[in-house]
């Protein structure tokens, strides 16, 4: 639709709107990362924000949006002389997930280079977004090297391009906004830290609030222009307030008390580095300007902490996001505010949305943004009003009595309560050797569309990435025959060469975990869960997809379909019950079915099967027959299809049957003990043509079982 949804018509989502407006007031805050489930007005609010930004004056004809009053002295289109500028609306530039690095930063203008023989620079999206908004939807699915590039540009306010004989530097100051659904995978902590603020959003569970969302949505779809006109007054008021806050921002004073509050908060929550302190200071200053004050108060520091710190406290993907607000208040209360002198009182509510009442604005009920989202305007301190469902209470403390050991026959006993996992540790790297083709990651070598250039070849089909040097070399010997020797370069289609690139691909790591009675000794199961959590952490760091199959009783279950969200896998594993017989063959066949389906969805992603078991097969489940024979046949089926496998042997005790080693031999992969899984273990590991287990950095030794 050509008419954007009004920013002030988004229902609820106060923290989201406030974070966006603070960046509009002070782009130095560093952008916003919006995390939340699908259909919560993330994209709607971001796209609507551009209409609230004031128009910008630009030098006519400048492709880099230089300001006439202060043009960039290093602008590639410069130098610019004095003169009147041309006003235009602030741009919102969207970076698609499949964008290339050339499209993001710019590259050599091939057409002019071939036609005119000059090294001309073709600007990318970073130049287009200068003095506007750069929006990255699904930022967690963007290639890591692209995220690094755009976050560096956002931090430095400039983009540096050194490629294909072109050396260019241009200004790139923009409001960076990224949105993501955590179910699809997490950003690395190093990249999370580069976003100034983060907001967690969720749809309201209150029926009345959801009704208001639907009303506004339907009203907007029926008459976009009329719906926008009804909200034009509120839009103008917020736009004027943004302009006023920008003008007031240089006058805001950040006193010593506020700086102490910021430093004590960051230190109290053990935030790494100093970026959090700087972002909190800028955010608190923008909050004061937004409230019409020239002094930063404790309430500004508190709100800044709630927006700037939660994502910086996550050391790994298993840490729950959020901030302990009681502890935050305790820290801030140590430093009372100084008495402001002749200071206007803060506005009661930073929420830009007026309460439309039960019948909506203008007396007519209207619906939510195109992405949904929701809730009515909040009351009180302006915190996020759309809360997720109440968390289930923690399970009762475990009984101090030791769990009974399963009998030798393992006659399926009652289900046992889930046990907590041991702390994760650094594991040896499990890798799939060889050169494949797949999505970018950091585990196996692969031919990908991104990565370092390793050579050139004739294009097969449509030319995607020109290898300029190879193309010139191919054309050079034929110039005399073409009659243009010494008078320029003549290229023909046969001369074109395409760059071949090599990167690292992410694999699919499918865990098959034995949850039967043979694994039910509580101490041992805690160690097993800790080992699986460690492997999950490794998969997260290497950008692998993960899946979880469990087997117990009479059947196997797909506990977690393959996903990039390893924190979801960890949550499922933590609640895993145990007990019953061991249908090992059912677990392997379930894994075979999961891998077959995933191969149809993504043929280029290579699987790595990690079977966590002691190797005892005491039940055939619904398959019927001898459990051991069925297990061996299922394992050989996986091996015949070339699935790389690793068996984590969890057998313990003075008498060991070695069944996990037999299973590993049938799978064609190595068997690794829990102790041998650790990166610092000296135990030797088996290698074969399908799976290699290599040593990573050393780690302090501790027992796993």
| Given 91, 173, 205, 275, the catalytic residue | 275
Distance CA 536, CA 534 (A): 5
Backbone angles phi, psi at 549, to 5 degrees: -115, 130
Smallest CA-to-CA distance from 201 within 73, 368, 23 is with 368
Distance CA 424, CA 368 (A): 43
Task: Please return the burial class of 578, using the count of CB atoms within 10 Å of its CB with bins 0-12, 13-18 and 19+.
Answer: buried
Whether 275 sits among the annotated catalytic residues: the reply is: yes
Q: What is the dihedral of CA 354, 357, 359, 365, to 10 degrees?
A: 30
CB atoms within 10 A of CB 605: 21
Backbone angles phi, psi at 450, to 5 degrees: -125, 155
Q: Which residues contact 363 (CB under 8 A, 6 or more apart)?
A: none
Q: Three-class SS of residue 581?
A: coil
Distance CA 573, CA 262 (A): 37
CB atoms within 10 A of CB 412: 18
Per DSSP, 369 falls in state: B
Q: Would you say 609 and 643 are in contact if contact means Cβ atoms under 8 Å apart?
A: yes
Q: Would you say 232 and 48 are in contact if contact means Cβ atoms under 8 Å apart?
A: no
Q: Would you say 385 and 204 are in contact if contact means Cβ atoms under 8 Å apart?
A: yes
Backbone angles phi, psi at 538, to 5 degrees: -65, -40
Q: Would you say 271 and 313 are in contact if contact means Cβ atoms under 8 Å apart?
A: yes
Distance CA 11, CA 369 (A): 8
CA atoms within 13 A on the CB side of 656: 14
Q: Which residues contact 111 (CB under 8 A, 6 or more apart)?
A: none
Pairing of strands 56-58, 86-88: antiparallel
| Residues that are catalytic | 275
């Amino acid at each position: 639709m050509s008419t954007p949804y009004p920013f002030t018509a988004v229902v609820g989502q106060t923290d989201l709107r406030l974070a966006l407006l603070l960046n509009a007031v002070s782009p130095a805050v560093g952008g916003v990362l919006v995390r939340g489930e699908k259909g919560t007005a993330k994209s709607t609010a971001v796209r609507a924000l551009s209409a609230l930004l004031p128009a910008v004056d630009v030098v006519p004809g400048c492709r880099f949006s230089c300001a006439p009053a202060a043009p960039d002295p290093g602008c590639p289109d410069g130098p610019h002389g004095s003169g009147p500028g041309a006003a235009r609306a602030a741009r919102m530039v969207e970076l698609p997930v499949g964008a290339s690095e050339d499209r993001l930063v710019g590259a050599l203008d091939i057409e002019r280079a071939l036609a005119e023989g000059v090294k001309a620079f073709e600007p990318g999206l970073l130049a287009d977004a200068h003095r506007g908004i750069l929006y990255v939807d699904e930022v967690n699915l963007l290639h890591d090297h692209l995220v690094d590039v755009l976050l560096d540009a956002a931090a430095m306010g400039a983009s540096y391009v050194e490629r294909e004989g072109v050396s260019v530097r241009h200004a790139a100051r923009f409001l960076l906004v990224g949105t993501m659904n955590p179910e699809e995978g997490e950003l690395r902590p190093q990249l999370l830290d580069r976003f100034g603020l983060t907001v967690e959003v969720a749809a309201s569970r209150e029926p009345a609030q959801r009704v208001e969302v639907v009303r506004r949505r339907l009203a907007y779809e029926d008459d976009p222009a009329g719906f926008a006109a009804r909200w034009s007054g509120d839009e103008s008021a917020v736009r004027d307030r943004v302009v006023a806050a920008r003008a007031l921002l240089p006058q805001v004073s950040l006193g010593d008390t506020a700086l102490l509050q910021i430093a004590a908060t960051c230190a109290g929550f053990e935030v790494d580095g100093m970026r959090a302190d700087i972002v909190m200071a800028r955010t608190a200053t923008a909050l004061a300007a937004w409230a019409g004050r020239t002094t930063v108060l404790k309430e500004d520091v508190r709100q800044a902490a709630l927006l700037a710190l939660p994502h910086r406290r996550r050391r790994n993907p298993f840490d729950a996001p959020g901030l302990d607000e009681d502890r935050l208040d305790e820290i801030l209360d140590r430093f009372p505010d100084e008495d402001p002198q002749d200071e206007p009182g803060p506005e009661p509510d930073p929420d830009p949305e007026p309460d439309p009442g039960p019948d909506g604005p203008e007396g007519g009920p209207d619906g939510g943004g195109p992405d949904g989202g929701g809730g009515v305007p909040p009351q009180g301190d302006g915190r996020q009003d759309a809360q997720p469902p109440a968390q289930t209470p923690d399970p009762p403390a475990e009984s101090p009595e030791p769990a009974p050991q399963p009998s030798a026959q393992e006659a399926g006993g009652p289900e046992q309560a889930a046990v907590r996992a041991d702390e994760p540790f650094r594991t040896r790297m499990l890798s799939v050797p060889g050169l494949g083709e797949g999505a970018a990651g950091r585990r196996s070598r692969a031919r990908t569309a991104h990565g370092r250039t390793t050579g050139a070849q004739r294009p097969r089909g449509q030319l995607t990435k020109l290898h300029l040097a190879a193309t010139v070399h191919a054309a050079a010997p034929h110039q005399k025959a073409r009659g243009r020797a010494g008078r320029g370069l003549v290229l023909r289609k046969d001369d074109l060469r395409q760059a071949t690139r090599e990167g690292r691909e992410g694999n699919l790591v499918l865990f098959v975990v034995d949850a039967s009675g043979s694994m039910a000794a509580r101490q041992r199961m805690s160690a097993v869960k800790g080992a699986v959590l460690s492997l999950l952490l490794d998969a997260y760091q290497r950008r692998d997809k993960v899946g979880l199959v469990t087997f117990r009783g009479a059947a196997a279950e797909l506990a977690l379909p393959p996903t990039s969200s390893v924190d979801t896998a960890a949550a499922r594993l933590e609640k895993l019950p145990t007990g019953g017989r061991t249908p090992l063959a059912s677990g392997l066949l379930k894994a075979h079915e999961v891998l077959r389906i995933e191969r149809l969805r993504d043929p280029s992603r290579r699987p790595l099967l990690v079977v966590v078991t002691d190797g005892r097969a005491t039940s055939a489940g619904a398959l019927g027959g001898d459990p051991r024979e069925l297990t061996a046949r299922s394992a050989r089926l996986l091996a015949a299809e070339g699935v790389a496998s690793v068996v984590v042997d969890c057998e313990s005790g003075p008498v060991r049957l070695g069944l996990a080693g037999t299973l590993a031999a049938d799978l064609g992969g190595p068997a690794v003990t829990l102790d041998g899984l650790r990166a610092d273990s000296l135990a030797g590991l088996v290698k074969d043509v399908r799976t290699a287990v290599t040593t990573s950095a050393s780690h302090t030794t501790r027992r796993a079982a």
